[in-house]
Amino acid sequence: MQQLLKGKNILVMGVANKWSIAWGIAQKLHEAGACLAFTYQGQKSEENIRKLIHGTMPEAPLIPCDVQNDQDIEATFQQVGEKFGMLHGIIHSIAHAKKEELEGCYFDTSREGYLMAQEISAYSLVAVTKYAKPLMTGGGSIVTLTYLGGERVIKNYNVMGVAKAALEASVKYLAVDLGKENIRVNAISAGPIKTLAAKGIKNFSTMLNEFEEKSPMGRLILTEEVGNTALFLCSSLSSGITGENIHVDCGYHILG
């Protein structure tokens, strides 16, 4: 476990604070010996990441990247290339929808809200992959985060569920595009976890309670469990897996 990712350079996108799923993943990758770089969008996130990495990986590059901006994405991978040369992995842990779109009826979704959710939460994986590919000359692993609301209707998830469906389909198309180059693309479908983004979903705490009560394992998922799965997907232990959506949700998805 300790050295599973020794010599691997991985870009982590989507740490906002210590509760972020991306931070749970980053800690596991770091423990396994990976060299990490981070992107952030907001200034607050930058400050938070600086504090988080202070004691453990102070040298890790922090790169500003708004995934709605192609120039940002291109510049990000230019910097990653200058720092690391070769890239072996990407954690794409980014999503956003307007708070008002995460409640009520799906048919009330605005055109602007729909496009924004798709652009940030689904298209960004495509754009990031395009610019990352030239650096992944030794093969690699791209991991994104999704949720069950992309497969079935979950109350209030609305426009984000549709964006996750597009993200999950993108994982499959990208896996086919890149498979021969030994670049694997997979998703982790995590159970609900209390994070900044999750707070935007109306009645999220009800969702958590219901999950805890009904999930086969009778408990909530831990961020570190998502981190361990990401570590597996970034390592050679998962060398034959691509285009997959792994549910890390205490078995909740098997329920009807």
Q: Give the interface with ligand NDP as residue ranges (CB under 6 A).
A: 14-16, 20-22, 40-42, 45, 65-68, 93-96, 120, 145-147, 190, 192-193, 195-198
Which of residues 197 and 233 has its CB atom nearest to ligand NDP in the complex?
197
Closest CA to 69 of 45, 109, 39: 39
CA-CA distance, 41 to 93, in Å (whole number)?
12
**How far apart are the C-alpha atoms of 68 and 145, rounded to whole Å?**
18
Q: Nearest approach, Cβ of 186 to ligand NDP (angstroms)?
A: 14
- Closer to ligand NDP by Cβ: residue 138 or 172: 172
Rounded to a whole number of angstroms, the minimum distance from the CB of residue 138 to ligand NDP is 26
Of the candidates 40, 131, 157, 252, the residue annotated as catalytic is 157
Q: Which is nearer to ligand NDP, 4 or 94 (CB)?
A: 94
Query: Is 40 an annotated catalytic residue?
Result: no
On whether the CB atoms of residues 70 and 123 are closer than 8 A, the answer is: no
- Report the nearest approach of ligand NDP to the CB of residue 151 (Å): 12
As measured in angstroms, the least distance from the Cβ of 92 to ligand NDP is: 8
CA distance 236 to 184: 11
Task: Give φ, ψ of 231 to 5 degrees.
Answer: -60, -45
Active site residue 157: yes
Residue type, 219: R
> Residue 54 gets which letter from DSSP?
T
Residues with catalytic annotation?
147, 157
